[in-house]
């Protein structure tokens, strides 16, 4: 029986490598990196005349029950190029820059609004944490593993976008709407694909459970408001700025509630197991981070529950995964796909 578990797990994880149609376009990755250095004023000029057309296209998207596609043809410069490489539409980029924002909130936040908020925050992640690491092969690998996990998550109907940040601090981020980031510093610490799956699963869980949105809805800045709509996003510049600032502070400075982080740990382990990985990957990564001198430089240290507390919680969950010890970790594949890429000089910006 244990042998059958192992064979099944290996078969499932091997499906990652037949999803070649889902790889990140290397041109859009390059456009993203090249665009970071462009003057911000040029971005505004680039956006003018396109906003109305993009807004109409955004409004015609299908209902949430169908898979939403954010991708558009890449090629814009400045923030437009940055946005398109992550699948963020031009109207969201326009709102993010011009702060032509929102005035109301608090009915359940719809997918369209979630994508706008999440896209704006994703651009902020890129700005704050070093830009994108310029290595298409590495981007593709993380994208394949991430999207395979997203497909077995509790919210597979939206599009997910995965990217590697060019910072040595071992960090990971998720913003609403399907945007997930890991840093090269984090990838250097990991030792196997199962560990990567655990980390990505944790970040995906924040999106599936809408942790950032629920936290934002409870914030003082939105108290007394009744609904958050796209029409409101084109009226009140000051309020949009405040909402994005509040969300940014929550994600990058203060962190989410501890219970939400524990839930993300639980689901991250679950998603990795569903995909056929050894479920202890996330636990192993936290052990590595706890022992590393870089651990205290990580956002996982400053905004998350303590490493010992997280390890205790994950340890209590492991016994429920019968046969999980025999699932693959794929350490050799991780070494060849990640560590060798990180050692290449042309992987550096």
Q: How far apart are CA 251 and CA 174, in angstroms?
A: 8
Closest CA to 130 of 82, 200, 202: 82
pLDDT score recorded for residue 83:
62
Please say whether the beta carbons of 274 and 152 come within 8 A: yes
Tens digits of per-residue pLDDT, 249-281? 878 887 888 999 999 999 999 999 999 999 999
Strand partners for 181: 163, 173
For the beta carbon of residue 310, count every other beta carbon within 10 angstroms.
Answer: 23
CB of 183 closer than 8 Å to CB of 172: yes
The reported pTM is 0.71
Q: CA angle, corner 160, sides to 226 and 327, nearest 5?
A: 125
- Is pLDDT larger for residue 234 or for residue 53? 234
> What are the sequence ranges of the domains in the chain?
18-347
Which single residue is written with the structure tokens 């693959």? 328
Residue-wise pLDDT tens digits, 158-178:
999 999 999 999 999 999 999
Q: Which residue has the higher pLDDT, 195 or 251?
A: 195
Averaged over 66-86, what is the pLDDT? 46
């Amino acid at each position: 029986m244990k042998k059958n578990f192992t064979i099944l797990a290996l078969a499932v994880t091997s499906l990652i490598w037949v999803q070649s149609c889902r790889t990140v376009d290397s041109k859009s990755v390059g456009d993203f990196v090249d665009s970071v250095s462009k003057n911000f004023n040029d971005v505004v000029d680039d956006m003018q005349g396109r906003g109305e057309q993009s807004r109409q296209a955004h409004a015609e998207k299908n209902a949430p029950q169908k898979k939403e596609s954010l991708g558009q043809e890449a090629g814009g410069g400045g923030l437009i190029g940055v946005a398109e490489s992550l699948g963020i539409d031009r109207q969201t980029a326009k709102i993010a820059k011009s702060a032509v924002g929102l005035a109301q909130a608090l009915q359940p936040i719809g997918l369209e609004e979630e994508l706008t908020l999440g896209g704006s925050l994703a651009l902020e992640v890129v700005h704050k944490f070093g830009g994108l690491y310029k290595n298409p092969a590495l981007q593709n690998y993380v994208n394949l593993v991430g999207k395979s996990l997203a497909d077995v998550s509790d919210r597979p109907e939206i599009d997910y976008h995965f990217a590697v940040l060019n910072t040595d601090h071992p960090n990971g981020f998720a913003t609403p709407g399907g945007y997930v980031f890991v840093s090269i510093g984090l990838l250097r610490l990991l030792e196997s694909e199962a560990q990567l799956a655990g980390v990505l699963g944790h970040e995906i869980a924040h999106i599936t459970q809408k942790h950032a949105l629920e936290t934002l809805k409870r914030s003082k800045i939105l108290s007394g408001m009744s609904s958050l709509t796209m029409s409101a996003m084109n009226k009140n510049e000051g309020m949009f700025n405040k909402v994005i600032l509040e969300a940014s502070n929550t994600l990058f400075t203060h962190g989410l509630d501890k219970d939400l982080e524990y839930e993300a740990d639980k689901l991250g382990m679950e998603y990795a197991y569903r995909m056929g990985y050894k479920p202890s990957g996330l636990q192993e990564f936290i052990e590595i981070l706890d022992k590393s001198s870089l651990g205290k430089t990580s956002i996982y240290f400053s905004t998350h529950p303590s490493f010992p507390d997280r390890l205790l919680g994950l340890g209590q969950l492991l016994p429920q995964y019968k046969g999980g010890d025999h699932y693959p970790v794929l350490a050799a594949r991780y070494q060849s796909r990640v560590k060798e890429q990180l050692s290449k000089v042309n992987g550096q910006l």
